[in-house]
Amino acid sequence: MDSTSGIKTPYYLYDLDLLRKTLDRARQASAQHGYHIHYAIKANHNPIITGIINDYGFGIDCVSGNEVMEALHRGFPAEEIVYAGVGKSDDEIRQALENDIFCFNVESVEELQVIEEIASEMNRPARVAVRVNPGVEAHTHKYITTGLDENKFGIHPSQLQVALDLCSQSQWLHFMGLHFHIGSQITSLQPYIELCNRVNEIWEEFAISSLGATILNMGGGLGVNYDDPEGNPVPDFGSFFNAIAENLKVPDHIQVHFELGRSLVAQCGKLIAKVLYTKKGVDKEFAITDAGMTELMRPALYQAKHQIENLSNTGEIHTYDVVGPVCESSDVFGKAVQLPITRRGDLLAIKSCGAYAESMMLRYNMRARARSYFLDSGEFAKYDLSEKISRKLV
């Protein structure tokens, strides 16, 4: 890749062809069942990425007021925007109401009361879906499971009736339906089958259809293969949506929505880093890179593992702890990683960095912002990120 020489490391490199292929498959598989996808923009808010996602007609799932405003600014229609989050501020609620977003995913009875108050002050009814905590074990890392009983997210079924009553009694709350999101990086369909069963029970027990519900939002969480990112880079959206369709028993007129983040973007991105030093320890050898937890926080935050490739060298395999330069012991990309003998100046590719990498970038240690570059139709392309519409700079 000659065109990349001279680019300052570390940087993110996105394969837009793989992104388009992934979006295409997801769209096809969901359309077969009439499902609608909102992209969870927190996974990656790079404007080139969201521009392409917009071209494919996906909606947006937001978790902050700034995400809502940015999605609008980037041309996503208000009626395609849903907004979740346990701590929506009054200003964020007001702003979302002013812009007439499609739906608030409400996470507590207390929040519902505040939305009602603000909606009445503004004389503008709020469309709401109630996020229910279904008590389904997602079998994923404990920091990314969200659907178990005592959790800051969502409303426990024992409090659901109170929330539903509030909706029916208020002229300012327009009840849209129920919302669920049980966690992230879920690699088996079993938790989703259990979720469907719980949704069926809850839908029936609380007579949700009789309350005028029109939507069911099943959230996101579909996982990707971090161990073999190139083997099967596009997640099996077909099996995922089929499993949901086979197990969900809500009435046909209910529009089913999903909020996919990671599964749409994770595999199209890599983090490219340069080896600054290979340092001999007592029993180990360290490869110290110029990228750190500031560019990819997942290993430090949830012990995530990413495949690493040496782009500059092939040859005898050695074992390295691949670490970043940041002053934290948890700034480690991988322990005992097998790499071809690695030297100062080598480029490493850290795989599966399209989701929750650039969007989680930190300025800790006063680190510089890493740039992003793109492969488009197999060619290296630079885009001017200050432009809303993607534009080749050449």
Ligand X SMILES: *Cc1c(COP(=O)(O)O)cnc(C)c1O
Residues near ligand X (CB under 6 A):
40, 42-43, 61, 63, 84, 181, 184, 219-222, 259-263
- Angstrom CA distances, 324 to 177, 189, 214, stand at 45, 35, 49
Q: DSSP letter string over 57-103?
A: T-EEEESSHHHHHHHHHTT--GGGEEE--TT--HHHHHHHHHTT-SE
Question: 172 vs 192, which CB is nearer to ligand X?
Answer: 192
Residue type, 354: G
Q: How far is the CB of 169 from ligand X (least distance, A)?
A: 26
User: How many Å from the N-terminal Cα to the C-terminal Cα in the chain?
Assistant: 16
Question: 168 vs 239, which CB is nearer to ligand X?
Answer: 239
Question: 179 vs 367, which CB is nearer to ligand X?
Answer: 179
Asked if residues 82 and 105 have their Cβ atoms less than 8 Å apart, the reply is yes
How far, in Å, CA of 140 to CA of 304, rounded? 11
How far, in Å, CA of 71 to CA of 241, rounded? 26
Question: 219 vs 324, which CB is nearer to ligand X?
Answer: 219
Q: Which residues pair with 339 in a beta bridge?
A: 318
Question: 43 vs 81, which CB is nearer to ligand X?
Answer: 43
Q: How far is the CB of 122 from ligand X (least distance, A)?
A: 24
Question: 183 vs 334, which CB is nearer to ligand X?
Answer: 183
Q: How far is the CB of 238 from ligand X (least distance, A)?
A: 17
Q: Which residues pair with 286 in a beta bridge?
A: 279, 321
Q: How far is the CB of 141 from ligand X (least distance, A)?
A: 11
What values do phi and psi take at 159, rounded to 5? Answer: -110, 0
The closest residue (CB) to ligand X is 261
Q: How far is the CB of 106 from ligand X (least distance, A)?
A: 12
Q: Take residue 187 and report the two structure tokens written for it.
A: 């690699």
Q: How far is the CB of 337 from ligand X (least distance, A)?
A: 25
Instruction: Answer left, alpha or beta for residue 375, where phi above 0 means left and psi between -120 and 50 means alpha.
Output: beta
Question: 220 vs 334, which CB is nearer to ligand X?
Answer: 220
Question: 42 vs 367, which CB is nearer to ligand X?
Answer: 42
Asked if residues 248 and 35 have their Cβ atoms less than 8 Å apart, the reply is no
H helices of 184-281, where? 190-205, 237-247, 262-265
**Nearest of 98, 104, 42 to residue 70 by alpha carbon:** 42
Q: How far is the CB of 45 from ligand X (least distance, A)?
A: 12
Q: How far is the CB of 37 from ligand X (least distance, A)?
A: 10
Q: How far is the CB of 92 from ligand X (least distance, A)?
A: 15
Question: 86 vs 311, which CB is nearer to ligand X?
Answer: 86
How far, in Å, CA of 26 to CA of 29, rounded? 5
Q: Give the β-pairing of 308-310 and 215-217.
A: unpaired
Q: Give the β-pairing of 36-40 and 11-15.
A: unpaired
Indicate the SS3 state at residue 293.
coil
